[in-house]
Structure 1
Amino acid sequence: MQKTRLDTARIRAARRTIDPVFLDTPLYRCEALEPVLGCAVSLKLETANPVRSFKARGTEVVASRLAESGSRAVVCASAGNLGQALAWSGRGRGLDVTVVASRFATVAKLDRIRALGARLELVDGDHEVARERATVIARREGIRLVEDSLDIETCEGAGTIGLELADSAPSFDAVLVALGGGALATGVGHVLKALTPGVEMICVQPLGAPALTYSWLQRRVVNTDSADTIADGVAGRCPIPAVLDDLLQVADDAVLVREASIIAGMRTLLDHAGLVVEPSAALGVAAVLEDRDRFAGRHVATIVCGSNVDMGAYHRWVGAGHPPEGL
């Protein structure tokens, strides 16, 4: 594998920094899904922790290093999950945490950020507008700006999931990873390519928010003017060049899935695995639903990356009439 910003030794070291409550999350073969998807499926549950997403693996590393350096304040932009994770990690280390988010973000995520003690600033516009505002705050107040996926700690913290998958990876043919800003995909992908290069690493992104997938396909940064998807956790428009460089070294494929498939994936995980997940966490299942022939007879693993979802919206989505088999 060519040189990337990530380092496997640092990822191993990150496990010693991360609170054990976020480590060694459940990984199991879910046989109930297999008749529906037509392949063997293992689920990696990154929802069984205090912030119900994988993001705290990265914020634990960030907050630990900030506390060691004597920093007392930090700011980030977030669609919701990073903000919750940074609030949780910062609270335990005496950091003042500010989170900037769109006022249109999922209410349940915003409420939880406040409950964890962070200061929440809302902006009109989407996540990219929130990123701009967080940058202004960091410069004005002279504090650390945590940028998901750009800050290597967020990628290498997520990479600890790859270490746990690699322990079982000889039984996997492919791993399906949600693609948003790229921290999860680059972190997990780096470890899998280093330790289990025979496993196919497939990134999955919504058709309504395709910027990083387009960038991967064209091998250059492609920005989009808008993002239109229920999968708010991966709805970025402006990929980070350094993240794309890392992704190009570790991803074997990047695919786009329709909104109907995401909803069908959420419903499938509820009906056959008993899991309530946010849309981003259903992207892997959505990819299988859209291309059963590709995965037929194979053993795939997918990372269930978050379960912070507005329950009113969730019931509207999964309670709708079932789509025809095969979408």
Structure 2
Amino acid sequence: MQETRLDIDRIRAARRVIAPVFLDTPLYRCEALEPGLGCAVSIKLETANPVRSFKGRGSELVAHLLTGERAVVCASAGNLGQALAWSGRGRGLDVTVVASRFAPATKLDRIRALGARLELVDGDHELARERAAAIARHDGIRLVEDSLDIETCEGAATIGLELVAAAQPFDAVLIALGGGALATGVGHVLKALAPEVEVICVQPLGAPAMTRSWHERRVVTTDSTDTIADGVAGRYPIPAVLADLLLVADDAVLVQEESITTGMRMLLDHAGLVVEPSAALGIAAIREDRDRFAGRHVVTIVCGGNVDVAAYHRWVGAT
């Protein structure tokens, strides 16, 4: 395999500094989902931790390496902010999170509850990134950039080590694609240690920048996004992250909003899981291309469970 920015030895070492509460999340075959999808489906449940997303793995690695620093700032759609607040609180770091005021209230409230200073901007995540960078320059503190900072990718990559160690083999893994930390991290490990596994990235049709960039092998930006999957709704792919993704992903696909909400409902009805839209992207991809996955064993990473209850009820029709 050609070299990415990631390193297997560093990824293995990361497990020693990440709080055990984020490691070894459940991985199990969910047979109840299978009649509706036409293939064997296993779930890697990254919501079973204090911040209810995979981001805690990366934030733990970042915070560990910042020992001795006084403060840190990041932009977040919500989940990274919660994770960095949690990890920073345990290590005496002052954490500032910049987010869009249109981000889910549940995520914003939790960032505040975890002790971080929250600054809201009147725009999307890209504007939040600009503001976070300005704060870092002005205050002389560390800026954490999700997916660009290798720690966020290598923390997420520890999921890949757990997948490779699984007793039951699988044919493909479906990974939500946003900034790229999860996809490049897990993809790197699988290509290095289990190259026979197909790595498929999934993004909403209404936020296609990274997927289009993967297919065109160059950075493609978009003027706007239109999706309920706020956690993956970026407009400006990072060149270094795209370069990594091109080396480890076998495919990148786009799915419709209706498939996302149907996937959320399926995870509720058949797995008892309340998830945010980004976490249902893998189920949506299987649903839209059943022939591709028929007869195969597929793992889908359920990456986050931070969702506003009122919005969730609207989307899935839960009562």
TM over 0.5: yes
Segments of structure 2 that go 5 or more residues without pairing to the other structure are none
| Pair 239,63 (structure 1): closer, same or farther in 2 beyond 3 Å | same
How far 1:3 sits from its partner (Å)? 1.1
Instruction: Provide structure 1 residue ranges, at least 5 long, that are not aligned to the other structure.
Output: 322-327
**One-letter identity of the residue aligned with 1:261:** S
Q: Are the aligned partners of 1:169 and 1:196 in contact in 2 as well (CA < 8 Å)?
A: no
Match of 2:27 in 1: 27
Contact 1:170 1:196 in 2 (8 A): no
Are 1:267 and 2:265 matched, yes or no? yes
For the pair 1:227 / 2:225, whether they are aligned, the reply is: yes
The match for 1:92 is: 90
TM-score, normalisation: structure 1: 0.97
Q: Which of 73, 83, 105 pairs up with 1:75?
A: 73
**8 A Cα contact 1:207 1:259, kept in partner:** yes
Matched AA of 1:6: L
Is residue 216–residue 248 contact of structure 1 (8 Å, CA) maintained in 2? yes
Residue type at the aligned position of 1:164 = E
Q: Which segments of structure 1 move beyond 3 Å, counting only runs of 4 or more? A: none
* Distance in 1, Cα, partners of 2:309 & 2:318: 14
Match of residue 251 from structure 1: 249
Post-superposition offset of 1:266:
0.2
Counterpart for residue 46 of structure 2: 46
**% identical aligned pairs:** 83
**Aligned residue number for residue 108 of structure 1:** 106
Cα distance in 1 for residues equivalent to 2:259 and 2:38: 16
1:113 counterpart letter in structure 2: I
- 2:64 is equivalent to residue 64 of structure 1: yes
Report the equivalent of 1:144.
142
Task: Say which SS state the counterpart of residue 204 (structure 1) adopts.
Answer: strand
Partner letter of residue 16 of structure 2?
A: R
Aligned: 1:9 with 2:9: yes
The alignment partner of 1:177 has SS state of strand
Q: Structure 1 residue 196 and structure 2 residue 168: aligned?
A: no
For 1:243 and 1:267, how far apart are their aligned partners in 2? 32
Moved more, 311-320 or 229-238: 311-320
1:171 matched residue in structure 2: 169
Aligned length: 319
How far is 1:168 from its partner?
Answer: 2.1
2:314 and 2:79 map into 1 onto residues whose CA distance is 22
State how far apart, in whole Å, the 2-side matches of 1:109 and 1:141 are: 25
Letter in 1 for 2:39: C
Corresponding position of 2:205 = 207
Q: Secondary structure at the match of 1:171?
A: coil
SS in 2 for 1:148: coil
Q: Measure, in 1, the Cα distance between the counterparts of 2:257 and 2:271.
A: 20
CA RMSD for the aligned pairs?
A: 1.0
Aligned to 2:119: 121
- Cα distance in 2 for partners of 1:184, 1:280 equals 12
Deviation of 1:4 after TM superposition, in Å, equals: 0.7
Deviation, structure 1 residue 320: 7.6
TM-score by length of 2: 0.99
CA contact (8 A) 1:2 1:249 kept: yes
C-alpha distance in structure 1 between counterparts of 2:318 and 2:126, whole Å = 31
| Cα distance in structure 1, aligned partners of 2:153 and 2:167 | 20
Seen in structure 2, the aligned counterparts of structure 1 residues 92 and 243 have a Cα distance that, compared at 3 Å, is: same
Q: Which residue of 1 aligns with 2:292?
A: 294
Deviations 1:45-98 (A, max 9, x none): 00000000000100000001101xx20100000000000000000000000000
Task: Show the counterpart of 1:158.
Answer: 156
> Secondary structure of the residue that 2:161 maps to in structure 1?
helix
Q: Which amino acid aligns with 2:239?
A: P
Q: CA deviation at 1:171?
A: 1.4
Give the residue type in structure 1 aligned to 2:166.
S
For 2:97 and 2:111, the matched residues in 1 are separated by: 8
